């Protein structure tokens, strides 16, 4: 625009005054933000329907990139939801990319009011210790009539709705191994 | 190019608001806190960062209450009032596939499109001074994908496809509803604006107002007059002024200064 000569200036003035546009007609669409993303198939973590989701992460698997989540939407190949998602599922990106998302185990000691971060090793060790102590204290070998029952009534187990058959098989073995009777899964919550 | 359209079968909407969230997710709009006014309408209206709203219209009849759900967004008219009113070239475009899209880079924020819209859809942002509305995900459609709201709809209330096909499906659905005892069922296709690329199937087709849809949407006469006859009157006046000034110069010559130069 700085190098406008008189003739060009007059042409531009006339075009502006009479309402002609010098620009070519716009018919292009906006750029697609998932045009070059990597797609990871996963399962929505919320309810027991278990809808398939596609997580779009930034493209180009080059050395200097740490991939980030671009978009999450329903998986068109999933026979469960065929690309659809509910209002909660479609907001999944806000769950994955969130400052308040828990990424480390938190521990609140008995009587304490604050949660403290602990390592996974400590968390698993603490959980194992509690399970062992509870089992040692509450294990019932024989019932009132003297029949062998080998059960544990003081522990319960709860499963997640996105667990696969394989995880559920292992959870079942774990439960029977300990003798736990009360169990529930998230499908009914 | 095939004209694409969105079909909204209001009888299948359960008010889950997934389309609202999908729209905000895809367009990366900030979530706003809702209000509570003793209805399910927690988000009361469209906003510059909220382009798709489910209206929870309540109907009371014979002592029973029913929902008249209506998805409220840009209708992508065949003859868009916004485009007619827009004075900034390239700010509002009608793509060959029928989508009416706003290009905020070219928007001058005059807000005339808001006056021109028969459906009261465009919203002016007080921060950016630009106008925003649903783009029918022109970026997704351009790449062969489904608009975000339609893709996510879990009840099949929304359908995307070629306009001609969807009109057929809509009419078929209206026939089904009539056979089910909904005598007033019908299709709403924005008759006053040359048809819209958002087609509704309504249970009460004779009273679209009960869904919050205008009964006879037309481009306001002020916009039609201003961008129609008045535009040519103004152009004629403008050219006439220039021609008159030139003729005056030819006949009387340059202005002569009489008397005291101090005047």
Cβ B70 vs Cβ B17: under 8 Å: no
Instruction: Please list the residues that pair with A113 across neighbouring strands.
Output: none
Closest alpha carbon to B174 in B8, B40, B36, B55: B8
pLDDT score at A187: 66
- What are the tens digits of pLDDT across the range B86-96? 999 999 999 99
Give CA–CA dist A88/A98, Å, rounded.
Answer: 15
The Cα of B21 is separated from the nearest Cα of chain A by a number of Å equal to 6
All residues of chain A having their beta carbon less than 8 Å from the beta carbon of residue B139 are 29-33
Q: What is the share, in percent, of chain B residues with pLDDT greater than 90? A: 76
- Asked whether the beta carbons of residue B18 and residue A29 sit closer than 8 angstroms, the reply is no
pLDDT score at B1: 83
Q: Return the number of other C-beta atoms located less than 10 Å from residue B234's C-beta.
A: 11
**Closest chain A residue to B232, measured at CA:** A18
Q: B251: Cβ–Cβ under 8 A, 6 or more apart, which residues?
A: none
Cα four-point dihedral sign B203, B204, B205, B210: negative
- Asked whether the beta carbons of residue A30 and residue B138 sit closer than 8 angstroms, the reply is yes
Phi, psi of B160 (to 5 degrees): -120, 145
Q: What is the share, in percent, of chain B residues with pLDDT greater than 70? A: 98
- Asked whether the beta carbons of residue B238 and residue A74 sit closer than 8 angstroms, the reply is no
- What are the tens digits of pLDDT across the range A135-163? 999 999 999 999 999 999 999 998 877 77
**Topology given in CATH for the domain delimited by A38-96:** Phosphorylase Kinase; domain 1 (3.30.200)
Residues of chain A with pLDDT below 50 are 1-2, 15, 17-28
pLDDT score at A24: 37
Cβ B177 vs Cβ B183: under 8 Å: no
The Cα of A162 is separated from the nearest Cα of chain B by a number of Å equal to 19
Asked if the structure places residue B156 within a domain, the reply is yes
All residues of chain B having their beta carbon less than 8 Å from the beta carbon of residue A89 are 18
Q: CATH number, domain at B54? A: 3.30.70.20
Size of interface A-B (CB pairs under 8 A): 77
Which two three-digit tokens encode residue B142?
């351009």
Asked if the structure places residue B176 within a domain, the reply is yes
Around A67, how many Cα atoms within 13 Å sit in the side-chain half-sphere?
A: 16
**Residue A111, CA distances (Å) to A107, A114, A115, A122, A172 in order:** 12, 9, 11, 19, 33
pLDDT score at B78: 93
Closest alpha carbon to B86 in A19, A145, A108, A45: A19
pLDDT at B239 over 50: yes
pLDDT at B259 over 80: no
Asked if the structure places residue B198 within a domain, the reply is yes
All residues of chain B having their beta carbon less than 8 Å from the beta carbon of residue A53 are none
pLDDT score at A137: 95
For range B60-77, the mean pLDDT: 92
- Asked whether the beta carbons of residue A87 and residue B16 sit closer than 8 angstroms, the reply is yes
Residues of chain A contacting B, Cβ within 8 Å: 17-18, 21, 23, 25-27, 29-33, 35, 71-74, 81, 83-87, 89-91, 93-94
pLDDT at B222 over 70: yes
- Among the partner residues B21, B93, B143, nearest to A32 by beta-carbon distance: B143
Indicate the number of domains in chain B.
1
For range B50-56, the mean pLDDT: 95
Domain that holds residue B74: 4-78+134-218
**Closest chain B residue to A26, measured at CA:** B90
| Mean of per-residue pLDDT scores for chain B | 92
Asked if the structure places residue B26 within a domain, the reply is yes
């Amino acid at each position: 625009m700085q190098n406008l000569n008189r003739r060009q200036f007059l042409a531009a003035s006339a075009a502006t005054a009479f309402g002609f546009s010098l620009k070519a007609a716009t018919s292009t669409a906006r750029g697609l933000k998932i045009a070059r993303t990597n797609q990871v198939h996963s399962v929505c973590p919320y309810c027991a329907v278990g809808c398939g989701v596609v997580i779009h992460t930034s493209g180009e698997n080059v050395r200097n990139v740490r991939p980030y989540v671009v978009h999450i939407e329903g998986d068109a190949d999933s026979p469960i939801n065929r690309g659809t998602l509910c209002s909660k599922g479609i907001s999944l990106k806000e769950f994955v990319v969130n400052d308040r998302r828990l990424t480390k185990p938190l521990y609140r000691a008995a009587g304490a009011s604050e949660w403290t971060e602990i390592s996974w090793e400590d968390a698993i060790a603490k959980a194992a210790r509690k399970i062992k102590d509870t089992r040692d204290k509450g294990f019932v070998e024989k019932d009132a009539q003297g029949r062998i029952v080998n059960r544990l009534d003081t522990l319960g187990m709860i499963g997640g709705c996105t667990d696969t058959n394989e995880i559920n098989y292992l959870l079942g073995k774990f439960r029977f191994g300990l003798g736990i009777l009360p169990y529930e899964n998230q499908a009914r919550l | 190019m095939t004209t694409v359209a969105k079909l909204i079968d209001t009888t299948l909407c359960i008010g889950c608001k997934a389309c609202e969230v999908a729209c905000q997710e895809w367009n990366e709009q900030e979530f706003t806190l809702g209000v509570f006014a003793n209805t399910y309408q927690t988000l009361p209206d469209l906003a510059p960062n909220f382009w798709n709203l489910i209206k929870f219209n309540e109907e009371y009849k014979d002592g029973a209450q029913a929902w008249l759900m209506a998805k409220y967004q840009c209708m992508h008219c065949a003859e868009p009032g916004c485009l007619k009113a827009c004075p900034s070239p390239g700010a509002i475009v009608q793509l060959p596939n029928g989508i009416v899209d706003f290009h905020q880079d070219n928007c001058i924020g005059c807000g005339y499109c808001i006056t021109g819209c028969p459906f009261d859809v465009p919203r002016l942002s007080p921060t950016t001074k630009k106008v925003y509305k649903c783009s029918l995900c022109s970026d997704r459609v351009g790449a062969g994908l489904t608009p975000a709201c339609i893709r996510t709809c879990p009840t099949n209330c929304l359908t995307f496809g070629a306009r001609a096909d969807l009109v057929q499906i809509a009419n078929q659905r209206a026939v089904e509803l009539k056979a089910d005892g909904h005598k007033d069922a019908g299709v709403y296709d924005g008759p006053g604006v040359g048809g819209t690329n958002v087609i509704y199937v309504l249970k009460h087709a004779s009273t679209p107002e009960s869904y919050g849809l205008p009964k006879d949407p037309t481009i306001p006469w002020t916009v039609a007059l201003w961008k129609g006859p008045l535009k040519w009157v103004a152009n004629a006046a403008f050219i006439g002024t220039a021609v008159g000034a030139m003729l005056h110069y030819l006949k009387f010559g340059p202005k002569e200064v009489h008397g005291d130069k101090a005047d």
